[in-house]
Structure 1
């Protein structure tokens, strides 16, 4: 079974090559690194366009976002949802998204509904109001943040109040280059016998290259063999605004200072292969940036990871990366200090070699494969975070819950899922899945729903037709030779087994028993009587506790109409004894249950005892149901049923996911049976709590019921919903809804006599 928290479908959002900017390079590199390091992972990218025509993106980019079009962000969110993306790696810098301070991005995050890991390429200590609003939105809608320097972590915590446990420090990835002498590459650069200084990256005034050029006359006075390579095209936005003015000013400065022969400009966006050659041939890397608040620099990281001696101004990233003798820091805008630092390194080859080795060794923890592994850990944490309670849960014992409105009846999806044969088991989203076709379990549930629907709403021709199909399926499913119900049928109307499970047999009995006890349709009652009489005796030999429970509910429904049937009453006594024997053999003060593992459809076991009309059984049924409920309430007061990924073994950890709608329904139904018996509003309130799980009061805060279709999604997963709307989940919702609405008058009457009837439902389970 796939680890439910192992990320396998990841979307990377940001700029992307061939767009020319540092974030585009980073997004591309981390996406490819993850895809390479984790080949079973499906990586796709969404690219932000800053020009109408976009770019000639590689196949990895599956959709594009128009920077200044708010609707484009919504469409991107829709795209990710329908493509079942499990986690989103978002690259953030205020200028790459549209709206004030990139606020268009927030609409994307509101709509996407997936765990988000946001990598911050800019972190401001003093944001303006728009920037602060965007950061607050990112905080609200990101599970985790990635920063590339410790300073970034401190700013996030101190300025924005983001807790440390949601921040991952992952250094910028670097090329995995061998530690070799720079002379190995110099012939490629036509720099044999020269000392090479290097700065690379997109050119803009904040890079401070003019300060490095101004240092050259002093450097050349002592080291006349020095060449200074400036590699990179002018930043596209700067080029669009003012052309090559900045580069031309640098060329003019070099000519003025008489060093134009020693400053070599490569005015182009170089490939990774070329970049390796330039870095490999460099003796000293210069980053004379002018802005202290630069929290990351890919160029610095690449040179550092390749084991180059780096001289840098004290911007935040450089100060951390070059600490402890891993490089040299000089003041901002101080060409004399740069010249002195270059001279000191060239005059002391042993020190320069030590700096290089120290940088290269540190860089082994920054290579792209290592970075990919750290990011994957962050992605998996994000999915686990999404499955945990909210970042700031409210106190559990003081916050009241106002009941959510019960949706109106909408059986469109049940109609869509049904044909003249019966109801289909599964759906692909909201479309019936013919491949897995039909089963007795779901047709039994569907028949029960039609009986209860007509009991509450009266005669309905459409519902009558559905009921007829479902009952016909049950009749066809019963094999008179084996006296067992078959369960699975193909779309070609062929049975796939000789007899079905004991549980499906019990559910079929529950369905026909409900018709006998409640239906006014004589044809339904007569056919149901035949099935009930023929199918009940084999249950005496069953071993499934849930089959016993379903049959006990069937008998309870049957006896509504035929109270004096002694043979049926004897079978009821036998099955009740079986359940009580299980309980006495298994339970303890700490484990008030019938089995050593609490698995699925759990509340049906106490439900069957509560309606048994036997004092010991009723007492144990109420006790075990209260115990079960108490272990399925979250710290913040909502229903959190046992998940099917591991269930709950005695003495072990209760699985939280995948949570199934059938658990909510069985608990609602059992609680309402307890309310019917006791009149205690505690049980009505607990039923309402469980029902509201469908409406979004759950571990993810996401509604499973889809009011637009009338369907219910199949499961609450660790970080998202299973978007398929199958028969079991949809019927679980509609049956749960009927359990509440058909008792609304009784609940209201009980509240009118309760001195605290107007109090909200409490968040915590009331004491026994």
Structure 2
């Protein structure tokens, strides 16, 4: 575990050795998207699995990822079994695999969109069959869920031994909206890499940005990121600080790319040209490694998250930026409100380019304030480094194991054919397609001659 103290103007990090895991937690399987799949959940699941494995080498950590394509992905050796998002039978098969392999803890990463069925309900088919303790990390907790979303989350809460949320807001929503007892929930922050607190000039020459003031947004591109509002703010910023450059780092989200291609990125590029700031915008349209990301973050003077969804309860990119000691300007989505409190960042209204410009200019004008904000953010985030987060997760795993020992569930009994619903072939409606034209369905006819 890491603890951080401030001595005058120096930042000193000390390391505390993580205690050994208690007897009983020897094998943990993490269920969720996994690299090389490109999405925030995949990055989180991979980082958490690796962090727990490194902090507790005596624990066997493996992964059970979810595939969104029939081809799957070229996974690393930690992956022992694969789910297919829309294939309900694969969820039952995964439950059988976990039950017979002496798994001590299943750690589920829940986000509605990564599992098949209405509101991701396919994951319930797996959870209902599991015989070991389940710890579920909730990456989304909705204040106003629709009936299907509410039903899924309430059953996940019931089937899980413990729940993990990453913010106090998430804890309050589970209590107030879903009726989950607080005693069942642990608040564990989003993990971050442990990076040094460095002057942005240290990395700028690596990207040809020496002598420039760097604004940065990173993450998978999609229209809900609100980057167009930041580009709209650039003319006013550039007028005051002509040496500013706005770096937009990240590939287009794979789901967006499959549906819309690069239309969003191209619209941003057209907007920058139309506003006359194309010489002050740089796109790096690729998925970067952690080392590259650390260097880009290190080069940034200000990190910007102009996101459009107020109900975003977790942002890994925001956590990374705060952990790197960046001055942050953000819209007030839930995670930002909590993480940037106490002058660890600046909040601006949604879709307000004028406010973005004003606050960024204020920070660029006031170096003392900007540096003080950076230091406050960095110090606050030291408990969020992955070794610390791994320790907190292991405590939650041990708690779930102990609670299950005190209150055991019915003994595991092998499922027989009578316990499973009869399997039917997939419905094939090709014959109806052949009988249908632009007017309607042709019936009661001999070839094309009506026969009433």
TM range (shorter): 0.7 to 0.9
Pick one of 156, 165, 184 that aligns with 1:147.
Answer: 165
Select the residue among 50, 53, 56 that pairs with 1:38.
56
Q: Distance in 1 between matches of 2:413 and 2:85?
A: 34
- Label 1:706 to 1:311 Cα distance change in 2 as closer, same or farther (>3 A): closer
Who is 1:269 aligned against? Answer: 287
Q: What pairs with 1:86-97 in structure 2 (closer than 5 Å)?
A: 86-97=104-115
- Distance in 2 of aligned mates of 1:74 and 1:288: 41
- Does residue 257 in structure 1 map to residue 257 in structure 2? no
Q: Matches of residues 511-660 of structure 1 in structure 2 within 5 Å?
A: none
Report what 1:703 is aligned to: 411
- In structure 1, stretches of 5+ residues that fail to align are 390-699, 709-768
Q: Identify the residue that residue 329 of structure 2 maps to in structure 1.
A: 311
Give 1:27 shift.
Answer: 0.3
Deviations along 1:184-216, whole A, 9 cap, x unmatched?
000111100000000000000111000111100
More strand by share: 2
Choose from 212, 217, 222 the match for 2:230: 212
Instruction: Say whether 1:200 aligns with 2:212.
Output: no
TM-score (norm 1): 0.51
Sort the Cα spacing of 1:347 and 1:160 in 2 relative to 1 into closer, same or farther, 3 A. Answer: same
- Aligned-pair distance for 1:3? 7.7
Q: How does 1:116-131 map to 2 (within 5 A)?
A: 116-131=134-149
Helix, strand or coil at the partner of 1:346: helix
- The residue correspondences of 1:432-443 to structure 2 (distance < 5 A) are none
CA contact (8 A) 2:170 2:313 kept: yes
Structure 2's unaligned 5+ residue stretches are: 1-19, 417-452
Aligned match for 2:204, one of 180, 183, 186: 186
| 2:406 paired with 1:388 | yes
Give the secondary-structure state (helix, strand or coil) at the position aligned to 1:18.
Answer: coil
1:175 counterpart residue number:
193
Task: Report SS of the residue matched to 1:62.
Answer: coil
1:21 aligns to 2:36 (yes or no): no
User: Is 1:338 aligned to residue 46 of structure 2?
Assistant: no
The equivalent of 1:57 in structure 2 is: 75
Q: Which has the larger radius of gyration?
A: 1
Contact 1:149 1:171 in 2 (8 A): yes
Matched with 1:417 is: none
Distance 2:411 2:388 in 1: 38
Alpha-carbon deviation of 1:135?
A: 0.8
CA distance in 1 between partners of 2:412 and 2:140 (Å): 37
- Structure 2 counterpart of 1:686: none
- The answer as to whether partners of 2:312 and 2:334 remain within 8 angstroms in 1 is yes
Q: Secondary structure at the match of 1:54?
A: coil
Work out whether residues 5 and 383 of structure 1, in 8 Å CA contact, stay in contact via their aligned partners in 2.
no
Q: Give the CA RMSD over aligned residues.
A: 1.4
**2:132 is aligned with 1:114:** yes
User: Aligned match of 1:76 in 94, 98, 102?
Assistant: 94
For residues 133-153 of structure 1, give each alpha carbon's deviation from its aligned partner in whole angstroms, at most 9, with x where no partner exists. 101210110011111111000
Contact 2:215 2:246 in 1 (8 A): yes
Contact 1:13 1:88 in 2 (8 A): yes
Distance in 2, matches of 1:354 and 1:330, equals 19
Number of aligned residues: 397
Q: CA deviation at 1:52?
A: 0.1
Judging by fraction of residues, say which structure has more helix.
1
Question: For residue 300 of structure 2, what is the aligned residue in structure 1?
Answer: 282
State the partner residue of 2:431.
Answer: none
8 Å CA contact retained: 2:21, 2:394: no
